[in-house]
Amino acid sequence: MMDLSKLPVGQSAHIKSVAGTDSLSQQIKEMGFVPGSHVTLLSRGPFRSPFIVSIRGTTIALRKNEAERVLL
């Protein structure tokens, strides 16, 4: 498994899980990053953060530590 921060720009994948059981993991799930969801990495910031993704018809920016929790 790889995490969302390793996905090449322009590529899509299905989410397998969100790592962790803390409040950050819960917040990521509440944004729609749940197993089975389709996610596309649209762009990456100049210093590899933020990660701009499309999920469930919405565009969301994630920090690197958040993207690393989303397992594909």
- The confidence band for 2, taking pLDDT boundaries of 50, 70 and 90, is very high
Instruction: State the CB neighbour count (10 A cutoff) for residue 3.
Output: 16
What pLDDT is attached to residue 48? Answer: 82
Burial status of residue 33 (CB atoms within 10 A of its CB: 0-12, 13-18, 19 or more)? buried
What pLDDT is attached to residue 1? Answer: 86
How far is the C-alpha of 2 from the C-alpha of 50, rounded, in Å?
A: 18
pLDDT per position as a tens digit, 8-67: 999 999 999 999 999 999 999 999 999 999 999 999 998 888 999 999 999 999 999 999
Spell 52-63 as b/e; 16+ CB within 10 A means b: ebebeeeebebe
Assigned fold of 4-71: SH3 type barrels. (2.30.30)
